[in-house]
Amino acid sequence: MEERIIWSTGDYTIEENFKRLEKIYTGANYNRYRIERKGEEYQIYCGNFNQINNISISINKSKFDKDFYFKGDLTKKDWTEIHLLRNKSHVDLQKKLITIRNFGFNEVILYNAPHPYDILIPKDQYFEIITLKIKNDTICDFSAIDHSVVASILNSPEPLVIHERMLPELRIKVDELFKIQEKSDGVIGYTISKALEIMTFFLVQIRKRLQDKDAYGSTNVKFQKAIDIKEYLMDNLYSNIEIQEIAKKFGISIPSLYKNFKQFYGTSPYQYIKKARLDKAHKLLLETDDPISNIAYNLNFTHPSHLTNAFKKEFGYSPKYLRSK
């Protein structure tokens, strides 16, 4: 048996990839748009929906007993890829590799397809990923992003990686799309409908960012420290960390830290961690019965009212209102 499973849409057709996977995992249920197999040690769900021109939709929620390697597609030169991840990830800009880690996180990564990234899922790691590949001309139609912006940014010969939050409203839509995969009837239609809704929502979300030249930039290895800093911030979500401490720890000047971080993540380190805490509070309010005061103090808000005020400003409604819905 292979030590690593390679899924490559540049070297094989979707059907060939499905059949290669079916050969490795006997007993898998394969049809023309998805393959699935449930088991105690591992599980497979890979769906691919290409029924609409200029848009490709891939949905994966699996756990393999081998490393699983999605090979970047070099054939789609004027396309953009969007990955909606339910796992923590690590981006290696030099290797052009995204490594999937712990399940239970939410993030979105966009990059221009002339510079694709490979994705590695280590064996025994459960993961959920939605991948949307969109022809760049179609992006303008769905989001009202100006053609000149698409031409200068997404069609650029320079590599571009944009990392974005998965807003709570978007996270709910992603949950719904994964839930649709459990249906026996109408899966293709429901999947395409929900995926188009997700794609449009996200493209509208990043439109403003693409109009701010300080909020993105040609991606090279100098941004690796920004990635490492973001991971450090998320690992210490419940702690107070001063910007001077971060700069010293990672050997970077404070002006460079702010500039590189904003170009990769679209905001400052302070705003990033603040919004990450608000997103976490939103999730906890929906999924637990923890008192609002406990959530506030655990997320390092000095008083529950500070959480309430910041939450209402960010989402347009209070934590108490969200709980009552």
Which of residues 219 and 107 earns the better pLDDT score? 107
Contact 213, 263 (CB under 8 A): no
Same domain, 192 and 254: no
From 215, 249, 283, give the residue that closes a domain. Answer: 215
Q: Which two structure tokens, joined as six digits, stand for 35? A: 């393959």
- Mention every residue, 6+ apart, whose C-beta is less than 8 A from residue 321: none
**Range with lowest mean pLDDT among 142-156, 168-182, 247-261:** 142-156
Same domain, 168 and 271: no
Average pLDDT (221-247) is 87
Total-model pTM:
0.89
From 215, 247, 270, give the residue that closes a domain. Answer: 215
How far apart CA 86 and CA 104 sit, in angstroms, is 6
- The share of the chain scoring above pLDDT 70, in percent, equals 97
Same domain, 197 and 260: no
pLDDT band with cut points at 50, 70 and 90 for residue 162: confident
pLDDT score of 1 more than 50: no
pLDDT for position 176: 97
Q: What is the mean pLDDT of the chain?
A: 89
pLDDT band with cut points at 50, 70 and 90 for residue 220: low
Name the domain count of the chain.
2
Q: What is the pLDDT of residues 53-76, one digit of tens each?
A: 999 999 999 999 999 999 988 777
Q: Which long-range contacts (CB under 8 A, 24 or more apart) does 204-213 make?
A: 204/143, 204/144, 205/164, 205/167, 205/170, 206/110, 206/162, 206/164, 207/143, 207/144, 207/145, 209/162, 209/164, 209/266, 210/145, 210/149, 210/153, 211/149, 212/266
Same domain, 20 and 59: yes
**Range with lowest mean pLDDT among 106-110, 259-263, 275-279:** 259-263
Same domain, 186 and 254: no
pLDDT for position 210: 79
Same domain, 30 and 48: yes
Say how many residues make up the chain. 325
pLDDT for position 103: 94
From 215, 235, 267, give the residue that closes a domain. Answer: 215
pLDDT for position 129: 97
Which structural domain range is residue 54 located in?
A: 4-215
pLDDT score of 150 more than 80: no
pLDDT score of 164 more than 70: yes
pLDDT band with cut points at 50, 70 and 90 for residue 303: very high
pLDDT score of 221 more than 70: no
**Range with lowest mean pLDDT among 56-70, 165-179, 254-268:** 254-268
Q: CATH no. for residue 285?
A: 1.10.10.60
